[in-house]
Structure 1
Amino acid sequence: MNAPLLGPPKRHVPILVPAPREAIEGDYYGKRVVLDGPVWQLNDFVHPEYALDWASLGFTHRGLVEATADFFVERIQTSSASNVVNHFNALKRVKKLRSFQAWSAPLIAWNQPELNQTLFYEARDQAGFSRGELSHVQRWFGFCARRDGSGVNRTSASILESISIGGEPKGVAVLTLDPQGGPLDDAETTALLQALAAAYEKGTVPIAGLVAVWLCVLLGPNPRMLAMMRDEDFRRVDGRHPEISVPRIKGKDASGRTQFKVRKLDERFARMVEELIAANDAARTGSEWEKDGYAAALFPRREPNPHLAGRPQQAWAMHRTPQEISLLVARTVRSLDVRSPRTGQTLKASPRRFRYTFATRLLREGASPQVVGELLDHKDLQTIRAYLNLRGELVEKLDAAMAMELAPMAQAFLGTLVGSEGEAVRGGTRASRIFGSDPSTADGLGTCGSFSFCGLAAPRACYTCARFQPWLDGPHVRVLDELLRQREERRARGLDGRLITMTDNTILAVADVIHRCENAKLERATSAGEA
């Protein structure tokens, strides 16, 4: 019996790495980069894992490998580490293209054609490369074509350089007001802030997560900014006025923390930051952090980052990465279990969503693009255009019916409903009684359960306070009607959105109390009927 015919044995083509090169003495950040091994370690203090692993590139053509290495030497000197890594990751996808595989491993080794524009067309039309990735491939292809022996066809490079790729569409989530990834609306923001306040009051959420989310709400920072922050960035001017220095992330700043923007903080949030710093100090007690040269990160890791051990950036070893900061924020928001009035689902939010929210609210309230760009730390106003193109967002009319519908989802009321004054904490103390707008009447609204002076304006501030105990038969509907009347009056006068909506949080809290009172009365009536 004849043996089956076998094809020619497959040629084993080894994956190549670049020949050793002299170290770059000054990269984009002015730092030294060693280029004498299969892995080129880049300088990025927040992303110490950034490196070019040439074996993962999978190139087998010596000329192309060396030309590609020259390409990245130039990129390292002129671009940020993240930009270099993005280029490298785009090229790692190239090895999977059929046109590239056919070129790099031809059936007849000595008759290998040059790499042509078919590679780019396949990446664009079949492989689903993003516009950014196509731009990276286009730039690399043109560079290699100018290197003798790279195997890249120069005519094809000229064809590709004439193709306009364009940038990725910006601000889609903002322009469409995407309920999953776009800016939070007023009701969602209100519900989230109330849940944050309640979680802090009850101590149910770790303080690091609370502070991270509050910073996202107040400042709209990039997660890289939060990753760079340290305990020393918080201070009290003259021992009284709290402020925090936010590190800038633009420009050639590899060592980080050379430029800051100072932001003022309110007293309530300042106390939260001080609590976090105290917790960080307690965690460092007895540790080897200072001995090992670790800086006091505001949002520290549990263990030092092993990628930074023994490197010049070792001081950053206890800092979380931007991805870890984003995860911290997302997990904290999810743990609050806030229901979105728009979707009816648990609210999900990342630093990016908070950044969108911060910008859109500023523009809606009349801030100029220059002010928004300065607060977001954008070097130019190109990125702000997506926010400026938002369709006109009118402040919706909020009436009693809508308030009652939104109240259970907004979760604005944080206190405890009581049947009567006698059931309340401090109910026997007349000084703790909360009256309506006219304290001369005998109609009380509820009881303050706080044993200290708060200085807030009653009764409006009471409905959003965790210490407030509204009475079941209190005239809460009268309070709601008055707040709605004042809101409509401001809207009719044509005031800006911020002034119109400034009491919406209280309106939803009062409506929530009314809703709970109705349910409680219904339950009592049902129980009495059954008895």
Structure 2
Amino acid sequence: MKSSESKTMQQDLFANDNGWREIPDFIISREGKRVNTASDSWNLPYAIDTSSSKLDFSKIPNENLKWVLKSFIIEKIEKVSTHAGLQHFQDIWVKFFRNNIEAMNSAQDIEETLISVVENAINLSRAEHKLWTLYRPVQWYLYGAEYYPELGFSTAYASILETMSIPGNPKGEAVRMEDPDTGPLNHSLELPLLIQALKKDQSKEFEHLQEKAAVALSIAYGRNPANLTYLRHSDLVNLTPESDDPVYVLRIPRIKKRLLNPRDDYIEEFLDPAFAEYIHDLIKANNETNTVLYHEGKKLPNPQPIFLNIKGNEAAILSGDYENAYNFSSSMITSLIKGFVRRHNIISPLTKEPMYVTARRLRYTLATGLAAEGISKAALARILDHTDTQHVHVYFELAGKIVIQLDKAIAKGFLNRTGFVGDHFS
């Protein structure tokens, strides 16, 4: 019998002796997806981020701590979301395990060693003014102390941790600081260069069509990349098909924690015909690729995503989430935007270097522009698909600073009254 199998059997016996739940061979996520948990390698049905959708517990040699971590992650996946399970695993690994594997594995007193690991993480995070990054790791320790103190978690130390105030993730710092590489694009000097390049680009290459669609939709709506990954051909609707003056709406899936499926809810947004043309071109190209994916000899049905992943979404396929097998990941949307800027060699007049553009920066750009034009907080929250107004205050803090920029831009026809592209797409 292999040593790993022997250890797993010991853990199961240990669980039975204490009346604990064994690690099952599979679980059902809150979204209703099956997750195979029989081994130390879990492929999560999380098509948004394929680079980190695999949880590798084999990196943790201490079987007791591994067992508690698995139990904790299972609870998050089952009760909260797959995304929550992924984030908790990543944060706990980085803050507690990554640099302490040897110490944890060879420790004579695991309780003392684990406390030392947590204390060191707290001190480092305080020194870096990033104490908020410890929220999820600390929750894991508290979980271990409550349910499995026999495995090295101190209930006395946990009571101390519970009194520690951990701040929330600081929001809007890139916006507030007007960082030239992470904050909003300058509305009169940088954004027009991106728009001009988009208008002049006549390439019909498949990837270039994807680039243009990603840039256009990010400028128009400022949505997170995840929203774009779930778009399908059927989401672009012409409300006046018999008219020479079409009126388009785009049904944008909402990415919200309370939803079991990202496509359970939509927001319908009007889409300028100039933007719609980029989507039409891409849909036509998608249909001409005749992309067909197979898994274990079976053809996977293609739900026709607007951003078609011709190589297949590895995370979705490995986890059996075939509905999203053809979807892009969020990082691929960002790569398209960066690729467009790189292909056109767009140089920022501010940094004198290639302009750094991401979907998040374009989201900031749209939001600050609309705030400067006098939009209400409630309306801006709706446009950015926030459930309330607490996350949009930072954009109004900068509004006064960029009003002059916008006035100049409007005079030159860079933007129309809605904050979307004006004369550049006429």
**What is the alpha-carbon distance in structure 1 between the residues aligned to residue 267 and residue 347 of structure 2?**
34
Deviation (angstroms), 1:36: 2.9
Q: Could you tell me which residue of structure 2 aligns to residue 415 of structure 1? A: none
Cα pair 2:381 2:388 within 8 Å, conserved: yes
Q: Could you tell me which residue of structure 2 aligns to residue 80 of structure 1? A: 81
Pick one of 104, 108, 123 that aligns with 2:121: 123
Whether 1:503 aligns to 2:411 is yes
Moved more, 319-328 or 335-344: 335-344
Matches within 5 A, 1:139-154: 139-146=139-146, 147-154=148-155
Go from structure 1 to structure 2 and tell me whether the alpha carbon gap of 1:229 and 1:15 turns closer, same or farther (over 3 Å shift).
farther
Instruction: Name the amino acid aligned to 1:340.
Output: S
Deviation (angstroms), 1:315: 2.8
Whether 1:269 aligns to 2:275 is yes
**What is the alpha-carbon distance in structure 1 between the residues aligned to residue 381 and residue 414 of structure 2?**
31
Paired residues, what number?
Answer: 388
Q: Could you tell me which residue of structure 2 aligns to residue 28 of structure 1? A: 30
Pick one of 195, 213, 217 that aligns with 1:215: 217
Matches within 5 A, 1:322-471: 322-390=330-398, 392-396=400-404
Whether 1:157 aligns to 2:158 is yes
| Per-residue deviation, residues 77-127 of structure 1 (Å, max 9, x unmatched) | 2322222122112222323455x7545423xx5x66545543222113247
Deviation (angstroms), 1:196: 1.1
Go from structure 1 to structure 2 and tell me whether the alpha carbon gap of 1:96 and 1:196 turns closer, same or farther (over 3 Å shift).
closer
Deviation (angstroms), 1:254: 4.7
Q: Could you tell me which residue of structure 1 aligns to residue 253 of structure 2? A: 247
Q: Could you tell me which residue of structure 2 aligns to residue 438 of structure 1? A: none
Go from structure 1 to structure 2 and tell me whether the alpha carbon gap of 1:376 and 1:14 turns closer, same or farther (over 3 Å shift).
same
**SS at 2:401's partner residue?**
coil
Deviation (angstroms), 1:222: 0.5
**What is the alpha-carbon distance in structure 1 between the residues aligned to residue 110 and residue 305 of structure 2?**
55
**What is the alpha-carbon distance in structure 1 between the residues aligned to residue 87 and residue 319 of structure 2?**
23
Cα pair 1:103 1:114 within 8 Å, conserved: no
Cα pair 1:95 1:101 within 8 Å, conserved: no
Cα pair 1:213 1:333 within 8 Å, conserved: no
| Per-residue deviation, residues 153-183 of structure 1 (Å, max 9, x unmatched) | 1111111111112123221211111111110
Moved more, 181-190 or 85-94: 85-94
Cα pair 2:54 2:315 within 8 Å, conserved: no
Cα pair 1:97 1:122 within 8 Å, conserved: no
Go from structure 1 to structure 2 and tell me whether the alpha carbon gap of 1:354 and 1:296 turns closer, same or farther (over 3 Å shift).
same
Go from structure 1 to structure 2 and tell me whether the alpha carbon gap of 1:346 and 1:15 turns closer, same or farther (over 3 Å shift).
farther
Deviation (angstroms), 1:26: 4.7
Higher relative contact order (CA 8 A, sep 6+): 2
**SS at 2:395's partner residue?**
helix
Moved more, 170-179 or 380-389: 380-389
Whether 1:320 aligns to 2:339 is no
Matches within 5 A, 1:179-190: 179-186=180-187, 187-190=189-192
Cα pair 2:104 2:114 within 8 Å, conserved: no
Instruction: Name the amino acid aligned to 1:125.
Output: N
Q: Could you tell me which residue of structure 1 aligns to residue 48 of structure 2? A: 46
**What is the alpha-carbon distance in structure 1 between the residues aligned to residue 103 and residue 261 of structure 2?**
44
Matches within 5 A, 1:285-300: 287=292, 292-300=300-308
Cα pair 2:369 2:399 within 8 Å, conserved: no
| Per-residue deviation, residues 223-242 of structure 1 (Å, max 9, x unmatched) | 00111111111121130322
Could you say what the CA RMSD is over the residues aligned between the two structures, in angstroms? 3.1
**What is the alpha-carbon distance in structure 2 between the residues aligned to residue 330 and residue 382 of structure 1?**
30
Deviation (angstroms), 1:262: 1.1
Deviation (angstroms), 1:380: 2.7
Deviation (angstroms), 1:252: 4.0
| Per-residue deviation, residues 262-295 of structure 1 (Å, max 9, x unmatched) | 111222222222111111111127x568953022
- TM-score for both structures, normalised by structure 2: 0.81
Instruction: Name the amino acid aligned to 2:142.
Output: G
Percent of aligned positions with the same letter in both sequences? Answer: 26
Go from structure 1 to structure 2 and tell me whether the alpha carbon gap of 1:69 and 1:311 turns closer, same or farther (over 3 Å shift).
closer
Go from structure 1 to structure 2 and tell me whether the alpha carbon gap of 1:131 and 1:118 turns closer, same or farther (over 3 Å shift).
same
**Structure 2: stretches of 5+ with no match in the other structure:** 13-21, 416-426
Cα pair 2:313 2:329 within 8 Å, conserved: no
Deviation (angstroms), 1:345: 2.2
Instruction: Name the amino acid aligned to 1:382.
Output: Q
Go from structure 1 to structure 2 and tell me whether the alpha carbon gap of 1:392 and 1:352 turns closer, same or farther (over 3 Å shift).
same
Cα pair 1:120 1:134 within 8 Å, conserved: no
Cα pair 2:183 2:361 within 8 Å, conserved: yes
**What is the alpha-carbon distance in structure 2 between the residues aligned to residue 211 and residue 92 of structure 1?**
36
Between structure 1 and structure 2, the one with the greater Rg is 1
Cα pair 2:372 2:402 within 8 Å, conserved: no
Deviation (angstroms), 1:330: 1.2
Moved more, 184-193 or 39-48: 39-48
